[in-house]
Structure 1
Amino acid sequence: MCKPYNRKAAKNTLRKAWGLDKELQISEVDSNLFQFKFQSDYELERILKGGLWTFDNQLLMLTRWRIGISANNVVLEHASLWVQIWGVLFDMMSPTVTMKIGKKMGVVEDVERRRRTDDQNLFLWVRVALLISKPLRRGGFLLGLDGRRHWVDYKYERLPLFCHYCGILGHDIRHCPPHFDASK
């Protein structure tokens, strides 16, 4: 986080948002690094798959505990974001096409599938894991399938704090190292 925050409020807000008032242990193991202990694998999976989680518009990055992990070696390098893809031709709207588009952006984690076939979707919906060290893609791109090329736009859902100067998640323009270097 690039600004101070109330740790107690953050913990209480997350417990309430996750519906785990008493069942969740939260320990601060380093500066801005917390360990969450869930009572069941079901709750852990529900929270991991239910993100993007934020507090005060700051991204909360989660990773599953693995043998050998500690506060000194934990690696948090991907953020999972839902992305809407607009402008896809109606005859190209399918989970397969959504997967191909998502792979251009990052690692595809999930593809929204329509529950009702009588309603036409206006956009495709994909969840992708994006490297937080790289700028977010902006705007759109040319989609080429079956020998046809067509421009599509995309929109990130529930986008947390990110820098409009460098495009990287986790800070704003006031805290952007490249912005300060360029202004000298």
Structure 2
Amino acid sequence: MEEEEIIDIPDEGQREGLESCALSLIGKFLTCRPFNKKFNTEFEMNSVLKGGSRSFDNQVLMLLQWRVGMTAGNVKFDSVSLWVQIWGAPFDLVLPTIVEAMGIRLGTVVEVERKQKSESQSYFMRVKVALPITKPIRRGAFLAGYDGQSDWANFKYERLPSF
């Protein structure tokens, strides 16, 4: 057999492999090599995946859902999803659309917390953002209001381990 020769995998073997990986998350601590965690149900897997940032021994755990064709060599862990609290914004700027626009400036928006109309005025807003791990995190930002005045808003990152 030559190295360049392609080995055909039977359909039955492929189906078995796909089924065994369907409920898998691929994970990596920021400082080590990737690993694989399999779950018994889709509910368990999704609750871990959507549960937010995890850490162990002060190291961030990054997770990706398994996809067809993933290998140890092509898995890219380039971001970590964290809830970001936005404090100090003027009350007239505390809206989901504005929170989303702010989240886009930080990274890729995963989710925007939507408050019920019956809730009292919030002191802060929350947006879950996939933050690039190669860029420094921002402490805050100036928000330009309707009147042209800029107000400083502080960002607090939930479950952010120290690096």
Which bracket does the TM-score occupy, shorter chain normalised? 0.7 to 0.9
Name 2:36's counterpart in structure 1: 35
Structure 1 pair 107/25, CA: closer, same or farther in 2 (3 Å)? closer
Does 1:156 find its partner at 2:144?
no
Does 1:108 find its partner at 2:109?
yes
Structure 1 pair 66/43, CA: closer, same or farther in 2 (3 Å)? same
Highest relative contact order (Cα 8 Å, sep 6+), 1 or 2? 2
Which structure 2 residue ranges, 5 or more long, are not aligned? Answer: 1-22
Name 2:70's counterpart in structure 1: 69
Which structure 1 residue ranges, 5 or more long, are not aligned? Answer: 1-23, 163-184
Amino acid at match of 2:128: R
Structure 1 pair 95/26, CA: closer, same or farther in 2 (3 Å)? closer
Tell me if structure 1 keeps the 8 A contact 2:25–2:36: yes
> Tell me, what secondary structure is at the counterpart of 1:46?
helix
> Tell me, what secondary structure is at the counterpart of 1:98?
helix
- Greater strand share, 1 or 2? 2
> Tell me, what secondary structure is at the counterpart of 2:44?
helix
2-structure distance, mates of 1:143, 1:117: 26
Deviation at 1:26, TM superposition (A): 9.4
1-structure distance, mates of 2:56, 2:84: 20
1-structure distance, mates of 2:129, 2:153: 17
Does 1:141 find its partner at 2:152?
no
Name 2:84's counterpart in structure 1: 83
Deviation at 1:134, TM superposition (A): 1.3
Deviation at 1:114, TM superposition (A): 1.6
1-structure distance, mates of 2:46, 2:145: 35
Deviates more, 1:142-151 or 1:83-92: 142-151
Cα shift readout 1:45-86 (whole Å, capped 9, x = no counterpart): 111110211111111110111111111221111100111101
TM-score normalised by L of structure 2: 0.75
> Tell me, what secondary structure is at the counterpart of 1:136?
coil
Deviation at 1:116, TM superposition (A): 5.7
2-structure distance, mates of 1:70, 1:56: 27
Deviation at 1:135, TM superposition (A): 1.4
TM-score normalised by L of structure 1: 0.67
1-structure distance, mates of 2:99, 2:145: 12
Moved over 2 A (4+): 24-28, 115-118, 145-149
